[in-house]
Amino acid sequence: MAVDLLLGLQWGDEGKGKIVDVLTQDYDIIARFQGGPNAGHTLEFDGIKHVLHTIPSGIFHKNAVNVVGNGVVIDPVIFKKELDALKKFNLDINSKLFISRKAHLILPTHRLLDAASEASKGKAKIGSTLKGIGPTYMDKTGRNGMRIGDLELSDWKEKYRSLANKHEAMINFYDVDIQYDLAELEADFFKAVEELKLLTFIDSEEYLYQAQKAGKKILAEGAQGSLLDIDFGTYPFVTSSNTTAAGACTGLGVAPNQIGAVKGIFKAYTTRVGSGPFPTELFDEDGETMARVGNEFGATTGRPRRCGWLDLVALKYAVRVNGVTELMMMKGDVLSGFNKLKICTAYHYKGEQIEHFPYNIEAENVTPVYSEMDGWKEDLTNMTSADQLPKALNEYIAFLEKELEVPIKIVSVGPDRTQTILK
């Protein structure tokens, strides 16, 4: 049985949590493959909104197993909070949620290092969520990290101590004013680790291999988005993992020839939270309308998201890098009421017009070239089937399908599970 992927194609927050929750009814296993609690995946049903950071978005479905894969970085303190928030739902966590022994641990000092690194950068800061993601992946690739499996060994606290001591020396090196009480942070961390140790740790690559062999359907859930990928994103304003399709292979131990459908998800416009270039960003009333109607505030940090028109140059690039086989368009409802909609179809780049995503997309290098389409007035949020969608929206969709050469299979018209139209 092939493993399907669900990935964000923009700068994150496309609506992955919602769609994974919707799709889980068709899968036996949902597996997160990269990122950490910098992610905030929102799902809504029965009038309740849930935000997950590390736990996969299939957790509310009784029959699905959720796996936190080896490519994920886990902060026990945040994980404990997530578990606490789930307690009232009486989910059988031990039989529904498995954690890879090879996943790396975010230590309190990784978070402090993130803060020190950002403070030292001044205006050039990345706008990190400050969850310790960069420093944890640095320790992973530097071969110094601590893994979930280490917690099963008797000497894990010694390992912790020596790594934390090194981090303290590094924090001092930055020479910035970071106030912290490590003893307090450690007390929380050790308490959370004890709770984490009550969960089921597995050799996840073996588990997923056997599940595949037994014919189980597996969906890999991405975090962040393709334009935040460490290699293909807008470096250095990116996260520290491969958010693109290949990351699912390394982040779960699934071979490339075992990948089936690649489901790519995008908003009908574009948003970005944190720093970094954003060619179609709007600083006018249209951008404010998108932010207000779309309620564009980060699910993890609460920061306002920057908003702009759909960038087809960037989207085409993401579709290619990921090998997307089907698309999902989110938040079409937010665009209801605009007279005209703009779509960026090319960039003016250093005196030429180009249609590929270049090395530099900063404002001094790139100016977007727009096509204009008619908007629609209708409220989409109560629509339930494709034949109800307004003509102008169907034209918008048809234009995107033609340009991207991939069908749009789902149109989302609101945050709730039920506000999902299959095409």
Give binding residues for IMP as ranges: 13-16, 38-41, 129, 143, 224, 239, 303
| HSE-up (13 A, CA, CB side) for residue 135 | 27
The yes or no reply on residue 31 touching ligand IMO (CB under 6 A) is no
Which listed residue (68, 133, 254, 313) binds ligand IMO by CB under 6 A? 133
Which residue(s) pair with 65 in the sheet? Answer: 29
The yes or no reply on residue 136 touching ligand IMO (CB under 6 A) is no
Question: Is residue 84 annotated as part of the catalytic site, yes or no?
Answer: no
The yes or no reply on residue 17 touching ligand GDP (CB under 6 A) is yes
For residue 44 the two structure tokens come to 């809504």
Stretch that binds Mg ion, among 86-94, 296-304, 324-332, 346-354 (CB under 5 A): 296-304
| Cα dist from 373 to 60, 386, 400, 410, whole Å | 39, 20, 11, 21
3-state DSSP assignment of residue 327? strand
Give residue 368's Cα distance to chain centre.
25
The yes or no reply on residue 307 touching ligand IMO (CB under 6 A) is no
Total residues interacting with ligand IMO, rule: CB under 6 A: 25
Contacts within 8 Å (CB) and 24+ apart, 414-417? 414/333, 414/380, 414/381, 415/18, 415/42, 415/44, 415/49, 416/44, 416/45, 417/18, 417/21, 417/22, 417/43, 417/44, 417/45
Site string for ligand GDP, 294-313 (x = CB under 6 A): x----x--------------
Question: Is residue 13 annotated as part of the catalytic site, yes or no?
Answer: yes
Q: How far is the CB of 42 from Mg ion (least distance, A)?
A: 7
Among ligand IMO, ligand GDP, Mg ion, none, residue 414 binds (CB under 5-8 Å by kind): ligand GDP
Q: Which of 4, 21, 41, 61 is catalytic?
A: 41
Amino acid in the structure at residue 44: E
Which listed residue (3, 4, 11, 13) binds ligand GDP by CB under 6 A? 13
Pick the closer one to Mg ion by CB: 14 or 139: 14
User: Using CB atoms within 10 A of its CB, is residue 142 exposed (0-12), middle (13-18) or buried (19+)?
Assistant: exposed
Among Mg ion, ligand GDP, ligand IMO, none, residue 44 binds (CB under 5-8 Å by kind): ligand GDP
The yes or no reply on residue 50 touching ligand GDP (CB under 6 A) is no
Nearest to 400 by CA among 321, 309, 334, 304: 309
Distance in angstroms (rounded) separating the CA atoms of residues 58 and 67: 10
Among Mg ion, ligand GDP, ligand IMO, none, residue 18 binds (CB under 5-8 Å by kind): ligand GDP
How many helices and strands in the chain, by DSSP H and E? 12, 20
Pick the closer one to Mg ion by CB: 13 or 44: 13
The yes or no reply on residue 44 touching ligand GDP (CB under 6 A) is yes
User: Are the C-beta atoms of residues 189 and 151 closer than 8 Å to each other?
Assistant: no
Q: Which residues bind ligand IMO (CB under 6 A)?
A: 8, 11-13, 35, 38-41, 126-129, 131, 133-134, 223-225, 228, 237, 239, 273-274, 299
User: Catalytic positions, please?
Assistant: 13, 41, 140
